[in-house]
Structure 1
Amino acid sequence: MNAFLGSAGVAPAHSNLQAGRLRSRLRTGLLAVGATLLAATTPAANAGYVVENIPLPPAIRGGVYGLAFSPAGGLVIATRFGEVWIRDQAGAWRLFMRGLDEPTGIVVESERVMYVAHRPELLKAEDTDGDGRAETFTSLGGKWGLETNYHQFFFGLKRDASGHFFGAPSLESQGDKNAPPIRATRGPRDTSDVLQASGHRAETPWRGWVVRIGPDGSFEPFANGFRQPNGMGLSPGGDLFVTDNQGDYKPSTGLLHVARGDFHGHAASVKWEPGYNAATVTTEALWRRTKTPAVVFPHGPMGVSPGEPVWDTSNGKFGPFAGQVFTGDYSRLVVRATLERVAGAWQGACFAFLGRNESAPFVTGDKLKSGFTRSAFAPDGSLYLGSTAGWGAGEDGIQRVTWDGKDTPEMKDIAITERGLRITFTQPMSAETIARAEGFEINRFRYYYHYKYGSPWIDEARVGVKDVIAAADGRSAELVLAELKPGFVYEVSVPTLRSRDGAPIANPLGYYTANRLLNGETTVGGTTRLPLPEETSLGAKEATAASSSPEALRAGGEKIYRLYCVACHQPDGRGIVGGAANFVDDKTRLAKTDAELLDIIAKGVESKGMPPFGAMITPLQRKAVLTYLRVTFGEKKP
């Protein structure tokens, strides 16, 4: 998915002002987090969770694009190669239908009636004679534009309590330089750009929109401003949430709450709004309209390309996280998120749940795969994860995650208070460590809103903890902060906290998205702002990068790597099969000259999911990352 959805690492700071700050941090060994946070950027998997590979018969090929359970408990999957399969509770697989065009989602009404989202339409498939195979197919609508661009997906699928379906026609990608010319189009085609040209476009109607389709086939453009909304979920209360992918106009990934009429930031879809007038559209006007994520998943620490969000409704069968949201990420990671209503709007926190470790100390069973895009909770309370190698990297397969009843010390939740943040834990914390203000490290940051790919962390600051008010049972602590502002992501690190049994927090890093305060105070643009004039380009001061010492470059490069590159290239440098480079086992990767490698970083490798970073990452940052790579994984020469 990295290659096509365009999610890859982005390092901070690309202006003259940011360059000066970065040089200072390279000297002191600080970038976006304190030194004690580095261990937290490689999340350990939770204790008590067992990962199990689900064997697939050789006939099932192409990886999992859709995953659900039938009311009777059967596991239903849709594959990239256009087939739908059902596994009964005895473990036997049977083919239900084939011939679909890259189905990305499925709603299972029963094992005889299913609804599938594939490129051209929403399709109802029925097994009318009870032989186990679908014979009747009914199109419920495909009123979005379609052409031969390789990247025109129809993401979904979710059905609400009224029987209406939600799906999302994706933007086209301009990344395939060898693609044949467009020869066929459904609906009108408009190749003009909205504002600036960017890598993803809406050349046909309703691309970049979430659409609502009635059980009678009625069609409604519901909300727009999306890039590649590959994950879609309905909360137990019926709220629609989408995970979009980082890239142009999208500074980071995250969990987006979607309501009718929302605009979620990407400019391309605006041309299909009623009354669109290109002469009146400005970047500032779009920024003022943008609804930023309810929960930001900071790009890198919380993955690079999220898939389908699912809610734990197992009533405790999956551990102490009932009601929380779990999202598989393409980079061999599962993110856990919490939500709360603040002044009428959703916001919340996210944490690593299962991580990228080769030998995680708190998990048993099989190694977590890369390539997750689909998730579903089974009737027995276990979490099923479906992966595919079909989007540039990753692995085909299905994995099952179960809880064995053992709790591990974790930050269970982060919530906003009038004076700061309240953290709750899965176990009682020791009275000594929970009472120490210096045991809680709080940083805050936000992002640029611009047409460029991703964004650095900007306006960063360490936030002082004035007081810690711990609960008597040790299961929660309110942090009274020296500063609490809306419009920022708050990074919370607890690396020295210990349970009453002396165990450390398994995943000691969390992020809270403060779009609003309890009193309703908010900001224009959510957790983004427009770049200032002096922040729009790289400056001549970057020539001074050569004066930085090798050790300072290595230290700064390590922090850039851990915050932004580790999601694809992994903590051990071994990358993702079929995608990000393996620096350890493939010595040819770092055998190139400095000039060649710096050029690759600047220009990217589209076929492997690495976008060009020349417009986003300063020469100093590129030099710092390369220094770290050579020292850590190469021939030990800066």
Structure 2
Amino acid sequence: MKFPITLLLFVLAALPCAAADEADYYRIISISTPKAQTASRSQNWKPAPDGLALEVSGITRVDDSRIAVAIRKGEVWFLDGVYDDPPSNVQYHRFASALHEPLGLLKHNDAYYCVQRSELTRLADLDGDDVADEYLTVAKGWGVTGHYHEYAYGPKLDGQGNLWLTLNIGLGLNKSQQQYAVSDPKLGYRQGLWRGWGMMVDPTGKLSPVCAGMRSPSGLGANAAGDMFYTDQQGNWVATNSLHHMRSGVFFHHAEALASMSQPGSTLKGIDQVPDGLALPEALQRMPAMKPPAVWFPYKKMGQSTTDVMLDASEGGFGPFAGQLLIGEFTQASINRVFLEKVGGEYQGACFPFRRGLGSAVLRLTQGHDGSVFVGLTNRGWSSLGEASYGLQRLVWTGKMPTEIQEMRATPDGFELVFTKPMDRDSLQDADSYSILSYTYRYQSGYGSDEIQDRVLNVKPVEVSADGRRVRLKVDPLRRYFVHELNAPGVRDTEGQPLLHSNAYYTLNRIPAKN
């Protein structure tokens, strides 16, 4: 396939900065890794006890000195000494065992909650010896056919005190698995009950299906407003990685989740046809129940397998991005950043590169009491960048302010950029400092989608704030349901330094109305 030279230059300009530059602002501290691999490491890793494969599948704070991690083997461990720098004396203590593939962990109401493959479980320590004495089923009721891909994730807590979990689709059930599945009579898709759905458990323990259309929703989390979001991963029906606002009665993209549409409790009704092979804007018109993601992560440019969702609730303790979301990235062993805004009552926004160079696939994130971020790693046998198969790391802000695009906001005729520090006004006012490309995706049953209907747009800076922290760009034409990929390689701060990351990707679902 041949590309126009303008597009080739655009892609080259979008390549992320080296991790060494990022390390000036966000330092990676390695806490635990496979013992057999420590000898070849230059970093100060602390080995886990013999026989403990710390394949972190869930992570939560215990108190101001300890964290708890769930691991793929089906155990929960407490780790003490994880805030030490370097962490030379980490202590490990097993809290719980005999779980079935827990893929999440949450401390809530003086107990620990995890989603196993078939239930949401509450783990309680009744006698204060840091060992779980009670394993209680909080909620169950989704299908398990035995297919390997039927992962279950969570829980995470929303702003109203509800627990949320997400359920993978089973990819291609065989005949023996199909006998445990359900099917919608109109569409004919067959899946385990509620597979591909987002579920909510209210404070009374009632489990309810909320929204559908998920493929591999391995990350979920609430934003500062308490609304719940999940990430999905590219595959059939899913054009590229994405972030979605979970709410009642909404369909996202994976059609086989509609197998449960006719079941009691379903919030979706009356979908009798699914478009296939259409550009996303047209598919959305054909299928009103389907809602686009709040943010697309363009494939490879912004990762290949999105995972956890974490709100930076540090109020500045982790740098200039308080209130934004950090998104784990599996294949590229990295973390990305998302700024969200509401336009016309719907979420949309931009994603930015944040920190590369983690030790393995990033699966879980949680924020420590000091604002630092604990990163749970495991590639689970799938390929990822990094020097280990699994482990635990901590990301710490050095206190140095990065030169970054802090926010990218939609306006009626373009975008407003907000920076982390005052910028050179001449560079902000120079049209050659910027380029913008827009494209959309194909909604299809096949695997993923190329970027389609791509177009280089006209961009003109029309207003710079007096403090040099903001610039308004007029962009022609804006295109609804298109990703608008910004590159700003010519922008400089007042000391002449370029942006640490000069690229951003805004998913424009709604164009703001003119005042």
Provide TM-score, normalisation by structure 1. 0.70
**Which SS does the other structure have where 1:288 is aligned?**
coil
| Structure that is richer in strand per residue | 2
**SS at 1:433 equivalent:** helix
Distance 1:295 1:279 in 2: 24
In 1, Cα distance between the equivalents of 2:438 and 2:344? 21
Cα gap change, 1:386/1:286 in structure 2, threshold over 3 Å: closer, same or farther?
farther
Query: What are the within-5 Å matches in structure 2 for residues 230-379 of structure 1?
Result: 230-274=218-262, 280-283=272-275, 287-330=287-330, 331-356=332-357, 368-379=358-369
Q: What residue identity is the alignment partner of 1:67?
A: I
Pick from 144, 154, 157: which aligns with 2:142? 144
Q: What pairs with 1:88-107 in structure 2 (closer than 5 Å)? A: 88-89=80-81, 91-107=90-106
Letter in 2 for 1:108: K
Structure 1 position 400 matched with structure 2 position 388: no
Match of 1:189 in 2: 181
Q: Counterpart in 2 of 1:7? A: none
Within-5 A mapping of 1:456-605 = 456-519=450-513
Distance of aligned partners of 1:195 and 1:493 in 2 relative to their CA distance in 1, 3 Å threshold:
farther
Q: CA deviation at 1:193?
A: 10
Q: Is the 8 A contact 2:170 2:192 kept in 1?
A: no
Counterpart residue type for residue 347 of structure 2: W
Q: How does 1:50-129 map to 2 (within 5 A)?
A: 50-55=27-32, 56-58=47-49, 59-89=51-81, 91-109=90-108, 113-129=111-127
- Match of residue 432 from structure 2: 438
What is the RMSD computed on CA atoms of the aligned residues?
2.5
Provide closer, same or farther for how the CA distance between residues 160 and 247 of structure 1 changes in structure 2, counting only shifts above 3 A: same
More helix as a share of residues: 1
Give 1:280 shift. 3.0
Partner of 1:451: 445
Kindly provide the amino acid, as one letter, of the partner of residue 30 in structure 2.
N
Pairing partner for 1:43 from 5, 8, 17: 17
Distance of 1:120 and 1:487 partners within structure 2: 36
State whether residues 186 and 272 of structure 2, in contact with CA within 8 Å, keep that contact through their aligned partners in structure 1.
no
Q: CA deviation at 1:158?
A: 1.0
Q: Report what 2:156 is aligned to.
A: 158
Q: 2: distance between equivalents of 1:474 and 1:279? A: 50
In structure 2, C-alpha distance between the alignment counterparts of 1:156 and 1:130, rounded to whole Å:
25
Q: Distance in 2 between matches of 1:192 and 1:344?
A: 31
Q: 5+ residue gaps in structure 1? A: 1-21, 176-180, 357-367, 522-638
1:221 corresponding residue in structure 2? 209
Residue 37 (structure 1) shift = 4.5
Asked whether the equivalents of residues 140 and 216 of structure 1 are also in contact (C-alpha less than 8 Å), the reply is no
Q: CA deviation at 1:422?
A: 0.6
Letter of the 1:408 partner, please give it: P
Superposed displacement of residue 429, structure 1: 1.8
* Corresponding position of 2:86: none
AA in 2 matched with 1:218 = K
For residues 12-70 of structure 1, what are the alpha-carbon distances to aligned partners after superposition, in whole Å with 9 as ceiling and x for unaligned?
xxxxxxxxxx54x3xx4343xx5154143233343321111112523431511001112
Q: Is the 8 A contact 2:75 2:99 kept in 1?
A: yes
| Residue 421 (1) aligns with residue 434 (2) | no
TM-score, with structure 2 as normaliser: 0.86
Q: How far has the Cα of 1:341 moved from its partner?
A: 1.0
User: How far 1:432 moved relative to its partner?
Assistant: 2.3
Shift of the alpha carbon at 1:231? 0.3
Kept in 2: contact 1:117–1:167 (CA 8 A): yes
Q: In 2 relative to 1, CA 256–279 (structure 1 residues): closer, same or farther, beyond 3 Å?
A: closer
Whether the aligned pair in 1 keeps the contact of 2:334 and 2:361 (CA below 8 Å) is no
Q: Is the 8 A contact 1:171 1:202 kept in 2?
A: no
1:188 Cα deviation after fit? 4.1
Partner secondary structure for residue 130 of structure 1: coil
* Unaligned ranges ≥5, structure 2: 33-46, 83-89, 276-282
Equivalence for 1:365: none
Q: Distance in 2 between matches of 1:77 and 1:505?
A: 35
Amino acid at match of 2:91: A
Cα distance between partner residues in 2 of 1:166 and 1:279: 25
Deviations 1:232-272 (A, max 9, x none): 00122210000011111111112111111111111001121
CA distance in 1, matches of 2:458, 2:176: 59
Structure 1 Cα separation of the partners of residues 317 and 376 of structure 2: 20
Worse-matched range after superposition: 83-92 or 230-239: 83-92
Cα distance in 2, alignment partners of residues 443 and 83 from structure 1: 47
SS at match of 2:441: strand
CA distance in 2, matches of 1:43, 1:450: 33
**Aligned partner of 1:472: which letter?**
A
My pick for the range that moved more, 279-288 or 399-408, is: 279-288
Amino acid of the residue matched to residue 5 of structure 2? Answer: G
Are the aligned partners of 1:42 and 1:355 in contact in 2 as well (CA < 8 Å)? no
Q: Tell me the matched-pair count.
A: 473
What amino acid sits opposite 2:17 in the alignment?
P
Q: Distance in 2 between matches of 1:332 and 1:43?
A: 15
- Structure 2 distance, partners of 1:287, 1:298, is 23
Distance 1:173 1:489 in 2: 28
Q: Which amino acid counterpart does residue 427 of structure 2 have in structure 1?
A: T
| CA spacing shift, 1:479–1:213, aligned 2, 3 Å | same
CA distance in 2: counterparts of 1:122 and 1:226, whole angstroms: 19
- Please tell me the residue identity of whatever aligns with 1:101: H
Distance 2:474 2:499 in 1: 21
CA distance in 2, matches of 1:194, 1:286: 17
Q: Does residue 386 of structure 1 match 2:376? A: yes
Query: What's the secondary structure of 1:438's corresponding residue?
Result: helix
Aligned counterparts of 2:205 and 2:317: Cα–Cα separation in 1:
38
Tell me if 1:132 matches 2:130. Answer: yes
Work out the percentage of aligned pairs sharing the same amino acid: 31
Q: Which amino acid aligns with 1:52?
A: I
- Between 1 and 2, higher relative CO (CA 8 Å, sep ≥ 6) is seen in 1
Structure 2 CA distance for aligned equivalents of residues 194 and 307 of structure 1: 33
